[in-house]
Each structure stands twice: as C-alpha cells, then as structure tokens.
Structure 1
Amino acid sequence: MAKNSTAPKNQKAAAARAQAQKSVKAQERRTTLGIVIGALVALVVFGGIVFYIVQSSQVPPLDSEDAVIPAGSDAETGGIPVSSDGVAGGEVPADVPRVDLYEDFMCPICGQFEEINAEDIDALRESGEIAVYYHPISILDATSQGTDFSTRSANAAATVADAAPEHFLEFTAAMYANQPAEGTTGLSDEEIAQIAIDAGVPETIAETLDDGIFTKWVIAATERASQDGMQGTPTVMVNREILEQAEVPYFQPGALRTHLESL
C-alpha cells in the first residue's frame, strides 16, 4: 500500500519538476530574446547617432573651401545683403538696424510674408533706414515629392545673387509670384530658368541655375540658420535677435515697418 501511495506523489513531483524546467527554459528564452531585442534597439539608436554625426560632418562650414560662397554674402551667417540700390552683395549701412529674413521658396507662409511686407522692406532699405540680409534656405525638401525643390530654388537664388546681383530681388519676387503649392513637385529647373530670364537674368546665367554650384553652401547656410535659432520659415531677425510675432504681429500690414521705424 505504501508503494501505491508513493508512486502518484513521485509522478506528481516529476511532473512538477518537468513543468518548472519548462518554465525556466521559457523564461531563459524570453530573457535571451529580450537581450537580443535590446541589443538590436541599441544598435539602431547607435546607428542613428552615427548616421547623424556622419551627415553633420558632411555639412561644410560657411567659410569652407568645399562650399562655394555667393559673392558678397556674409560668411558668418549665410545672409545675402542687398544694398540701397537693390544689388545683392552690395554695401549696406552699418549704423542702422540689421534685418535678416529666413525664407524657403516652398513655404506658403513665406509667400504671404512677402506679399504683406516686401514693399515696406524695400522702401526702408532704399532709404537707408535698415540693412537687409536675405537667407534662401532649404528646410522643406521633404514636401516636394523627391525633387528637392527647396534646395534647387535656393541654389538658383544664390546663383543669381552671385552672377546677376542686380536682378536678385526681381528673381526672388518672381519666384514667390509663381510659388508652387507645398506638397507638389515644385517648379522644374526649366521653369525656374524661365522665371529668371523673365526677371532680367541673362540667358547664359539662367542656363547654369541647375548646375548646383551653391548647393553645398545652401546646406551649410541652412545648418547655420538652425544653429542661430531659426526653427521655421519665415523667421525675422532684427539685430541678430529673432523677432517674435507675439512682440510684433508682422502678418498685419504695416506692423513690421512701424516697428522698424521706431528703432
């Protein structure tokens, strides 16, 4: 009778041990899987960090020999000054408020900003009351369906500023007048060239707008803008300080001019 009563107990104990061993092995598999997943996640994160570092290291500084700089542009900030007579890269007064305008040709709000403020800014610049620096940057390439319209158009503006500086303002104004909708492929290189020709840029120069001469400068200038605090477009800086809309509602006609005249 003793053997008969002990056998079921031994069987139960063996079954319990077997189940425990299965649980241990299952836990080991889960632990191993967790370690593997954790390692893979860490690898992805590390890879992302490495990729960012590598990409950042490929962005040349504005004064690098690797980045061709438009004639007359500010090597420190990437701004293109426009003189009182409307020539890009020309001399600007030093004893007046400095106004830096950061814009992306794909940005619809930049188009609105230009429509509201361009005439006032031109009037103040022509009278010598302000010094204006234009920053054509590229932060919206991802919204042009793979055509990199922001970079291409900014490069075109830099090319005009360098080779046909007297037509820079006319070209930028025409680009906003023909601004494509955000999320489209943007303007083709041929369309940009035709806009330049219609704005007075010699055809021989317009034919070079798609050469990408200043592409690396555009990338470097955009990075510089980000380092200087630009978080979106348009951004207005006055004396190198970002002008917040809460301080000056510059989408209200005349508000920006009134503020600049009061400085």
Structure 2
Amino acid sequence: MGRKTSGDAGARERIKAQREADRKREQRKRVTTIVAAAAAAVLAVGAGMWYAASSSRSETATTATAPITKQADGTVVMAKPGVESPVLDIYEDFQCPACQALEETSGATVKNLAAEGKVKVVYHPITIFGMEPTKSNSVRAGAAARCAPAGQWLAFHDKLFEEQPSETVKGFELPDLVGWGKDAGIEDPAFEKCVTSQEQAKAHQDYSKQVLGSGVIKRGTPTVLLAGTELNDTAFKPADLRQAVLNAAAK
C-alpha cells in the first residue's frame, strides 16, 4: 500500500472546501427563493386588501343631483332628462338595517351616477316586515315618504335612514317624521297633515303587497336590480357598483 502524501491531503482539503462552498451557495439560493416567494405573497395579499378596501370605499355625493319625479304608484325616479337606461331599481324598507347600510355605503355612488347621466334610478319604498313593532314603524315611514314633495323627497329619504330606529322598539313616531321633514327642507303645510293622518298608509301597503307578490324580492331588502339583474353584494361595493353601471350603460 502506498504512503499518503501531503499532496493527497491538500487535494482532500480543497474538495472539502469546494463542497462546503457549494452547500452554502445552495443554501443562499433556497433562502433567496423563499424570501422572493414570501414577498410575492405579501404583495398579492396587499393587492387583494387594497382592492377590497377601494371597492368598498364610499364616494362623496355631488351637490347637484338628478331631477326627482314621483310616480303614481309610489315609486320615485331619479334621472337626468332623456336618460331611460340602464335602469337601477332599488327596493328598500326604511326600517331595514341592511337597507340603511346600503344607503350609507353606496347611496352617494347611486346619486352621482344619476347626476352624471349614467343611469336611471327607480326607488321602490316598501314594507317587508310582518311583525311588530317593525311593521308599523316601516308603514309610518313609507307613508310619510309618499307625503314628501319631489323637491325634498331625496333629502327626506336620506333622513329616514339616518334616524332609523332599532327593530325592537316603536319608532318613526309621527311628530318625529314631521320634524325630520322640516329638517329636510319641507315647508308645505300639507306635508304635516298628510303625515299625521297617515293618508298614504294604505297606498303604501297595497304597493308593498303588489311587489312582494310579484316575486321580484327573492332574498329580502335591499334588492337592487341593474337592467333587471340582481346585483347582490356588488351593490354594497361602490367601485364595483359604479363599474357595473358603466358597463351596462356602454351596451
């Protein structure tokens, strides 16, 4: 057997050193890959969060709104002259918390789109509740809304949602409704008589029954239809709602 030389030892040391260098290089590559993947994941999550936040961010309503026209059946149209489509139908109950949330989130977007001439909005105030005190609360509010003049109807509509009572207590009391009408700029003395006598209560309930019997309300209120198609969660995301209306207007 030959004798080991110092040259053999040196070669082994060089091989060992090379293997160690290769190992460290592979380790650095793995770390770099993991960091890059993590960073990409963070960016993806961040982008998703940004989109979710931006799509749900409420707009600021412009000072000028589209003209309001009250219809004989109790519906209310908000649209610039000549704008007939697309149509955005909003079925809502003034006592409904989800309807209040829709108004708080997307109400400004709806108003802005109508003011821009991008959509014809049709409000359908109805009573969907069958139990007390919510049913009577809703009827009083819906009947009072029918009493509001067209010029102040939208402001009164918004005030009703702003003052919405709890579902567990009697609310929308007649004196309050009259006072909120004045807050909304209603000066016509006929409004107070109309509200306190609840002369529009039967018409409001009849229309509510008609709507509920038609099958258009499938999941409760709010029900928002764009060109006849229900928007579901899109209605609660202002950016998505805006884009949906613009897409429909472009067809």
Shift of 1:143: 4.0
CA distance in 2, matches of 1:139, 1:183: 16
Conserved in 1, the CA contact under 8 Å of 2:70 and 2:150? no
**5 Å matches for 1:29-68?**
none
Which residue is 2:138 aligned to?
Answer: 150
CA distance in 1, matches of 2:153, 2:82: 15
Q: Which amino acid aligns with 2:76?
A: I
**5 Å matches for 1:27-176?**
72-73=70-71, 75=73, 79-84=75-80, 93-94=83-84, 96-140=85-129, 142-144=131-133, 148-160=136-148, 164-176=149-161
Which residue is 2:217 aligned to?
Answer: 230
Conserved in 2, the CA contact under 8 Å of 1:116 and 1:253? yes
TM-score (norm 2): 0.65
Which residue is 1:219 aligned to?
Answer: 205
CA distance in 1, matches of 2:130, 2:187: 27
Which residue is 1:194 aligned to?
Answer: 179
Shift of 1:120: 0.6
Shift of 1:228: 4.1
Q: Alignment partner of 1:237: what SS?
A: strand
Q: Which amino acid aligns with 1:229?
A: V
Q: Alignment partner of 1:236: what SS?
A: strand
TM-score (norm 1): 0.62
Conserved in 2, the CA contact under 8 Å of 1:141 and 1:151? no
1:244 lines up with 2:242 in the alignment: no
In the superposition, relative to structure 1, how do residues 228 and 80 fare at CA in structure 2: closer, same or farther (>3 Å)? Answer: farther
Of residues 253-262 and 164-173 in structure 1, the stretch that sits farther from structure 2 once superposed is: 253-262
Q: Alignment partner of 1:139: what SS?
A: coil
Structure 1: gaps of 5 or more residues: 1-70, 85-90
Conserved in 2, the CA contact under 8 Å of 1:97 and 1:238? yes
Identical counterparts, % of pairs: 25
CA distance in 2, matches of 1:153, 1:252: 26
Q: What is the number of residues matched between the two proteins?
A: 177
Give 4+ residue runs of structure 1 displaced > 6 Å after superposition. Answer: none
Q: Which has the higher helix share?
A: 2
Question: What is the RMSD computed on CA atoms of the aligned residues?
Answer: 2.0
Shift of 1:111: 0.6
